[in-house]
Structure 1
């Protein structure tokens, strides 16, 4: 049954789940971003090293002769050219103009020329990014010495597309993995939050059970007390009798409140039932002395809590009086059994077990908690409670308890 408190707990559980999933998502996104960044930097560094190494090797393979002629034969040899990245050789003329010597005939792009000039001026290898036919390229330029100066540079072009494709695959896998892990984290968070809230839900159920039982147990005595006091106020001649009955009802109310508190502590696991040998027939006789019922009892001793058993018997009698249609109610006690029989319309066989469920009521009203309390008390004492069809019509409610044998 949904209640405002349960609804709040349910919402709190979903908020905890969302918070857990969000926190996990943030952590995973940060880690995935770091991993993707490391991978991108690693691929970029690998490409830089590759073009740098190739440019340096080729620049060392080329040479100038004594006449100042640049020899390009190594570039045409299969061993060096095999698998090499695109290469160009740029040379400065005596007038200081840059021309392309290999593969030759092409106009030197401005951004390529800038990297070549940087390599010449730094007397080392220079790296840069250029666009060739609309495609991004990473290039390395390394100088070829002509005596005491750099007369040409070897430019090697690296293609980052393959690395970018592999990086994109990694990013997609990271995204899918993060999404899956977030879903798993949400499921785990929902499960863990549910488990962590079980004590709160259990305490809430016990509180609601206590309130329902209190309403059920106290309604009749309070109504009777009100009638008795009103009767005494209307008729001063009956004030003494009304006062006496009010005192008895107050004692009964005190006993009921004590029993409710005991049951609440028992349900919470903070107390145990105080069992002692008692005469079940005398207990029942005491319970029904203010009710218009017939009693047939035999001496019987059971081991139990008198307050809890008294409430169970009282609930059986109240239930029979309420649903018996005004007919005679007969209470029998023998061999650990308390039978309460009415001559009302009875209960259908399919509904008898359901009548012991909380909130299930018969046609006569009530809170639907009385028989549930009876069964709870019976099971606490190692017994049982059931509804049967009585011979000749009506319903027989039985409370069965183990008989205590005095050794």
Structure 2
């Protein structure tokens, strides 16, 4: 990891720059995949799975008998862990339900809002270099709490052409029956446009690599809603010299092992502590099974030395997906941090807790989108529908507001729609 200083005068944009990909070239490749799937359906999905995953599939959908057969292979220990994680995630997302509140904005004028579940949702579960079992719960639980009628799950097959049994078990916990062994941009296309096997959905959820993220952005132009641009994972750790460098290093490597296009960042107070972090990273890295992936990530990562005021500026400019704060004064500047996906406070709050089981959702905006997007929540799976009911006396009161405004906009029919109901004569 490179060490840099920031005192408020350096080029901050350069310091927090993320690894770049050739966007136009990427879009061109992904668009070809989308167009082919739209045209050829299942045939294209099977062909792309053979080409990209090296797997020959006879069918895409998992039958319930197959699901049962594979979920029986999940160990009792993992079953118990997934059940506990499910409970925590369910509890947190169920708490986000809100009661409808009818408001009388003026006498006789009542307005309120109600939730309506999105009917058909598609969940993308990464399964390439690492099968993200936790993502099934993070997306499947709020979909269930919201009451979505149809939930479609797509995930890439392993080299044997099968889906990881733990993914199937987590899907079973969430009551998901429509499970398909297809991944990458082609899976996004299948859910967006529909094929002979995969139903067309109204909104697509889930993180993924640059191809999956690009596909989600492109299908959005076709009128398919997406949760957010959730691409390669990232973390920023803000710490002082009193933090434990081993803790900091462990959080960096936890993110770095996701994939080579991830990024990890640190903001600390001194070069001495930055060096301690580097040493701790090297020590832990040597024994990691995915050390080669993590090492590639570290090449594009940075430690920035800055005081508290400048650190907040760095954080807001970078807008990290995950922000871990390991400082003696956890509340210092916290209200000034506005661009972040999810925050982890204190030495015993690793980002791994949020990834798996504390209850918050781990599907979060990346690549700076935390400036404008929130992470997935119950609200992501519902629509907010407004209602209003007005009495005659209420409309009489509103007429004095509506008529002059309609006249100002030169929309006479709007005015008449009120006057006719009140029995008033108009020219």
Answer 1 or 2: higher relative contact order, Cα 8 Å, separation at least 6: 2
TM-score by length of 2: 0.19
TM-score by length of 1: 0.20
Q: Which has the larger radius of gyration?
A: 1
